[in-house]
Amino acid sequence: MKLNNKTLCLVILGYLLTLSAYAQQGTVNVTQDSDIDKLLEFKKDIKTSKVYKIQVYQNVDPDKAQREKSNFLNTYNDWPVEIVWNTPNYKVWVGNFATRLEAERAGVQIKKNYMNAIIFQPKTDD
C-alpha cells in the first residue's frame, strides 16, 4: 500500500493526538513554614566577605550622622542602614548587597537624593 505525503502526515498527527490524550495533568501545592521567609531575610543581613555597601553620609558629629540615618530611613526603607565610626568620622552605610550589580541598581535610586553616595566593599578582619 502506497501512502501520499498528506495521508502520512494525517496518520502521524492522529497518532500524536492520541498520545497526548493520555497525558496526566495535576496541580502541585507547596506549603512552607512562615519562618522560612524570616530566615531568608536574616540571611540577606548576614555579613560576608563579598558584600557591597553604599556610603551616603559622613561627619565627625555622631548626632548629625544619626539624624541623617533617620532621614534616609524616612525616604528609603528597603535596605538595612548602620552608622559606623571610622576615625575621625561617623559614616552612614546602607545595605548588604551580594553583588556589585545589586549595589549599582540600589545606587541609582539612592543617588537621586544622595548624589555623593559611593559603592564600596568594606574591609574585613579576616
Total of domains in the chain: 1
**Residue 64: its pLDDT value, please?**
97
With respect to residue 66, please indicate whether it lies within any of the assigned structural domains.
yes
Instruction: Give the tens place of pLDDT for each residue, 90-126.
Output: 999 999 999 999 999 999 999 999 999 999 999 876 5
Residue type, 21: A
Map grid coordinates 539612592 to a residue. 110
With respect to residue 7, please indicate whether it lies within any of the assigned structural domains.
no
* Sequence-ordered alpha helix ranges (H) in the chain: 5-21, 35-45, 62-75, 100-110
With respect to residue 21, please indicate whether it lies within any of the assigned structural domains.
no
With respect to residue 28, please indicate whether it lies within any of the assigned structural domains.
no
Question: What is the residue range of 85's domain?
Answer: 35-120
Partners of residue 91 on adjacent β-strands? 58, 84
With respect to residue 93, please indicate whether it lies within any of the assigned structural domains.
yes
With respect to residue 52, please indicate whether it lies within any of the assigned structural domains.
yes
Q: Of 81, 78, 92, 82, whose CA–CA distance to 41 is shortest?
A: 78
**CA dihedral sign, ordered 57, 116, 87, 51:** positive
With respect to residue 3, please indicate whether it lies within any of the assigned structural domains.
no
Rounded-to-integer distance, Cα 89 and Cα 60, Å: 4
Helix (H, G, I), strand (E, B) or coil at 125: coil
85: CATH: 3.30.70.1070
**Residue 1: its pLDDT value, please?**
54
Instruction: Give the tens place of pLDDT for each residue, 32-64.
Output: 888 887 787 777 666 555 799 999 999 999 999
| pLDDT category of residue 66 using cuts at 50, 70 and 90 | very high
With respect to residue 27, please indicate whether it lies within any of the assigned structural domains.
no
Q: Which residue has the higher pLDDT, 84 or 17?
A: 84
